[in-house]
Structure 1
Amino acid sequence: MTQEIRICLDVDDIERAIAFYTQGFGLRLGRRLQDDWAELLGASAPIDLLVEPAGSAATQVGPARQRSYERHWTPVHLDFVVADLDARVAALVALGARLERPIQQRRWGRMANLSDPFGHGFDLLEMQGRGYDEIIAGGK
């Protein structure tokens, strides 16, 4: 069974979010579904930007949690594979991203950990050699 996946990001400023993701990642605006909902295309899955005010309830289940657009942690993040890591980091930082630690060299390539202007963490990956296959013992 094939499933479609969509990525949804809560933001507090739709115009700033559209500018960040279109200018920083080369995505394009697909549709403005409402004043508070924009669909971005050009990645392997559509990204929906959804306006939700800071301080609003993030869930109705479990302990009360409120949305915050300061840096927050979640076990889910986005990885973007890029060709020129240094140039992309510089462009994203100029658009309001924060580089959270120095660029790291890994066996499979290089990685930068960043957060967007809305507090969401994401990584940039620059594959080198055989990419992830470099970490497979005896991989070909």
Structure 2
Amino acid sequence: MQPNLKKLESLSQLRPSSIEPKSKENRITLLATHTNDFPVSVKRAQVVMAASFRWLLQLHKDVPRAAHFYSEGLGFTINVCTLRWAELQSGPLNLALMQSPNPDDSITQKGYSSHLSFTVTDINTTVTKLKALGAELDGPIKYEIHGKVAAMRCIDGHALGLYEPA
């Protein structure tokens, strides 16, 4: 009789019941070779947890002004805001704003800038709103087959992409 490979969700599905996991907190995958529902051999595979995204960090000269920019211009929720640090949220994205260690230097002078890209429902209204808050349009709005696209720079020069689907 040829042994079958069967994926088990827990060790309690195995016989004999004396086999127990080392830790109940560990997520485990078990592969058991069995004949007539009796395990011949058991392999334990450790599941490696992927790192979870915490936030994207941007340096700004004026953190409260930058927080206001993202809140009013793009609808971010401000969770924390001090003179030197802010935490904002938009859906699953967490954006941290930190005061630049040397506010006299151009934050993006060496090209070390993040590029945040957003899907918007009305690109023209969003561009107008962001410009009123201090952003600059980096070229004209482009009308592509898949939708409208705009490149902008926020108040401290970080690149922003806007996309309105067709």
**Normalized against structure 2, the TM-score is what?**
0.63
| 13-22 vs 34-43, greater mean Cα deviation | 34-43
Stretches of structure 1 lacking an aligned partner (at least 5 in a row): 56-66, 129-140
Report the counterpart of residue 98 of structure 1 in structure 2: 136
Question: What are the within-5 Å matches in structure 2 for residues 7-46 of structure 1?
Answer: 7-32=56-81, 35-46=83-94
**Does the aligned pair in 2 maintain the 1:73–1:121 contact within 8 Å?**
no
How large is the Cα RMSD of the aligned pairs? 2.0
Report the counterpart of residue 109 of structure 1 in structure 2: 147
- Greater gyration radius: 2
Higher strand content, 1 or 2: 2
How many residues were matched structurally? Answer: 116
1:105 CA displacement: 1.3
Q: Does residue 3 of structure 1 match 2:3? A: no
1:12 CA displacement: 0.6
Q: Does residue 87 of structure 1 match 2:125? A: yes
Percentage of matched positions with identical amino acids: 28
Stretches of structure 2 lacking an aligned partner (at least 5 in a row): 1-49
Q: Residues 87-117 of structure 1: CA distance to partner in whole angstroms, max 9, x if unpaired?
A: 0000000000000101001221110100001
**Normalized against structure 1, the TM-score is what?**
0.74
